[in-house]
């Protein structure tokens, strides 16, 4: 008998259909062309919002001629426990630098709010009170995902001149949750993207996220055997014709991963992996790979079927199968590169990219995908149920949408007895709630002044309203850090 089928929508499992199969063979079906993503974080809603918030003494390179007016009276602030959003963009974090005796710093933070986002100017004046030069590497953190990277990356200037930077990626800031109705809260079936400052606090304090970002990527030199499928012979009279590879595992220790496949069935050590054959198209734009880590399968057979149920045989289907040996790192790098190429030139067939693929550093993409494989996937000591089936399609796409902290690194030299101004300018998305929900239309931003690990204590940051704006003054949240937030009601 077949087990309950698994359906997905934008990478989130239709939770009430997810059941552990009690009988074999087990059958899984996957959609074609849908992005693996957390649904709440992919919705884009434009809400009216305007205003300006600035700390005392803040300077803007070009001040607006007239301060924008708020659409209505700003909310007076809310209790910290109420400061939560269905779509949380993450806090504005301060620069991270080493503790240096004799170095003084002041910070001017300007948040210029417009519809749906804010322009952030975060400026630091470092003064060296000693008789020796100070040279060090600083990190400027921003929250977001690879899929929207070019919208959040800061530009850094030193005394007004452009500064050369390097980019590093921290770890996934969210967690996982069980499928609805599973009855087992320990399961990790669905992504649970970060929804409050606490999630970022946890990785910063408990997991040394900045340190994690700077260490080399996990080693993926393990040898693998790859079966690649191409050059399809199709049956144009069947729109859902399906081709499957069937084999018996020589060892239960063999790890199997796929890319470009749409379903799988197994019973004991027998396996079947299948994919739809493009109707009238001999070469699919997406590679189709079966990857084995461990003992090779040896013999196999290809079988054609009328549709994805793989129940009614169909003759006349075939393809070319190439077997070769490689290593996991090389395969993952190739798949990441292929994904970016497929979505280049504005094609965005995935529906999840909000950045130009050309602006996504390939090495960061591979690193984030490797994190999923080694921390949560089939190469981890305790794989999450979400990645049980070894589908690299989910790994590749979720590496793009998982929210994390990115660190822009740059070198600073403060001459003896002198001052240096470092300014980071970026755009930040607002946090918001969807129409029709509790506190519908409420939007907000939150920011941290001090408190990150290895951060020099920065004095002189306070906020005030400017001009005729009705923005509320920042409210202090009860954390061990200088954490503030403000929100605007519709």
13-30 pLDDT tens trace: 333 333 333 333 555 554
| pLDDT score for 189 | 92
* Closest residue by Cα to residue 427 from 445, 412, 451: 445
* Residue 112 host element (H or E): strand 103-114
| pLDDT score for 278 | 66
| pLDDT score for 422 | 96
| pLDDT score for 253 | 84
| pLDDT score for 197 | 83
Q: What is the side-by-side order of every strand in the sheet holding 318-327? A: 255-259, 288-293, 223-233, 318-327
| pLDDT score for 13 | 33
How many of the other CB atoms lie within 10 Å of CB of 172?
23
Task: List the domains of the chain with CATH numbers.
Answer: 51-171+406-488 (2.60.40), 215-401 (no CATH)
244-265 pLDDT tens trace: 999 999 888 889 999 999 999 9
pLDDT per position in the chain (490 positions), as tens? Answer: 333 222 222 233 333 333 333 333 555 554 433 222 222 122 222 222 122 222 222 222 222 223 222 222 233 334 444 456 788 899 888 899 988 889 998 888 888 877 778 888 899 999 999 999 999 999 999 999 999 998 899 999 999 999 999 999 999 999 999 988 777 888 999 999 998 888 888 898 888 899 999 999 989 999 999 999 998 888 888 888 999 999 999 888 889 999 999 999 988 889 999 999 866 554 456 899 999 999 999 899 999 999 999 999 999 999 999 999 999 999 999 999 999 988 876 555 567 888 888 889 999 999 999 999 999 999 999 999 999 899 999 999 999 999 999 999 999 999 999 999 999 999 988 888 877 777 677 777 888 776 666 666 666 555 443 333 444 445 544 444 455 666 665 5
* Residue 210 host element (H or E): helix 209-214
| pLDDT score for 244 | 96
CA angle 31, 10, 272 (to 5 degrees): 30
Burial class (CB in 10 A: 0-12, 13-18, 19+), 424: buried
Residue 46, Ramachandran bin (φ over 0: left; ψ between -120 and 50: alpha; else beta)? beta
DSSP 356-418: -GGGS-HHHHHHHHHHIIIIISTTSSS--GGGTT-BHHHHHHHHHH--EEEEEEEEEEE-TT-
Contact 482, 458 (CB under 8 A): no
The residues pairing with 113 across neighbouring beta strands, listed in sequence order, are 51, 118
Burial class (CB in 10 A: 0-12, 13-18, 19+), 64: exposed
Q: Which residues contact 157 (CB under 8 A, 6 or more apart)?
A: 163, 422, 423, 425
| pLDDT score for 434 | 79
* Residue 314 host element (H or E): none
Reported pTM:
0.79
Q: Which residues contact 401 (CB under 8 A, 6 or more apart)?
A: 11, 35, 36, 37, 38, 41, 42, 145, 146, 147, 352
């Amino acid at each position: 008998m077949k087990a309950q089928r698994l359906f997905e929508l934008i990478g989130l499992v239709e939770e009430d259909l997810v059941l552990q199969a009690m009988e074999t063979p087990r059958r899984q079906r996957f959609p074609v062309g849908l992005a693996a993503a957390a649904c709440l974080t992919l919705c884009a809603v434009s809400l009216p919002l305007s205003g300006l918030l600035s700390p005392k003494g803040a300077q803007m390179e070009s001040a607006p001629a007239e301060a924008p007016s708020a659409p209505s009276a700003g909310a007076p602030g809310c209790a910290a426990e109420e400061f939560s959003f269905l779509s949380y963009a993450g806090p504005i974090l301060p620069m991270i630098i080493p503790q240096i005796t004799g170095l003084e710093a002041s910070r001017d933070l300007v948040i210029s709010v417009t519809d749906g986002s804010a322009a952030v100017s975060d400026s630091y004046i470092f003064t060296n009170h000693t008789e020796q030069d100070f040279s060090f590497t600083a990190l400027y953190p921003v929250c977001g995902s690879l899929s929207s990277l070019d919208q959040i990356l800061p530009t850094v200037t030193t005394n007004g001149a452009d500064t050369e930077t390097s980019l590093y990626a921290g770890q996934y800031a969210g967690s996982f949750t069980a499928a609805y109705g599973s009855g087992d809260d320990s399961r990790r079936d669905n992504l649970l993207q970060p929804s409050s400052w606490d999630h970022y606090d946890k990785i910063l304090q408990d997991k040394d996220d900045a340190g994690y970002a700077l260490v080399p990527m996990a080693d993926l030199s393990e040898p693998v055997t790859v079966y690649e499928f191409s050059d399809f012979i199709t049956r144009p009279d069947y729109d859902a014709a399906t081709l499957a590879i069937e084999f018996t595992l020589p060892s239960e220790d063999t790890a199997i991963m796929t890319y470009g496949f749409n379903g799988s069935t197994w019973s004991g050590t027998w396996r079947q992996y299948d994919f739809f054959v493009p109707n009238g198209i001999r070469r699919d734009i997406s590679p189709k790979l079966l990857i084995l880590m461990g003992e090779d399968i040896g013999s196999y057979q290809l079988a054609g079927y009328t549709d994805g149920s793989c129940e009614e045989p169909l003759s006349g289907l075939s393809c070319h199968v190439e077997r070769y040996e490689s290593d996991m790192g090389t395969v993952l790098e190739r798949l990441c590169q292929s994904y970016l190429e497929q979505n280049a030139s504005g094609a965005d067939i995935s529906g999840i990219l909000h950045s130009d693929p050309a602006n996504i550093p390939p090495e960061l993409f591979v690193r984030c995908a490797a994190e999923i494989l080694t921390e949560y996937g089939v190469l981890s000591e305790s794989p999450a149920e979400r990645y049980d089936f070894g589908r690299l399609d989910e790994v590749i796409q979720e590496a793009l949408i998982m929210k994390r902290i990115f660190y822009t690194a740059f070198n600073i030299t403060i001459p003896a007895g002198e001052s240096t101004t470092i300014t980071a300018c970026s755009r930040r998305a607002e946090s918001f709630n969807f129409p029709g929900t509790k506190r519908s239309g409420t939007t907000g931003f939150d920011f941290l002044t001090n408190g990150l690990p290895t951060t020099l204590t920065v004095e002189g940051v306070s906020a005030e309203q400017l001009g005729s704006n009705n923005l509320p003054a920042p409210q202090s949240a009860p954390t061990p850090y200088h954490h503030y937030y403000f929100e605007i009601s519709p």
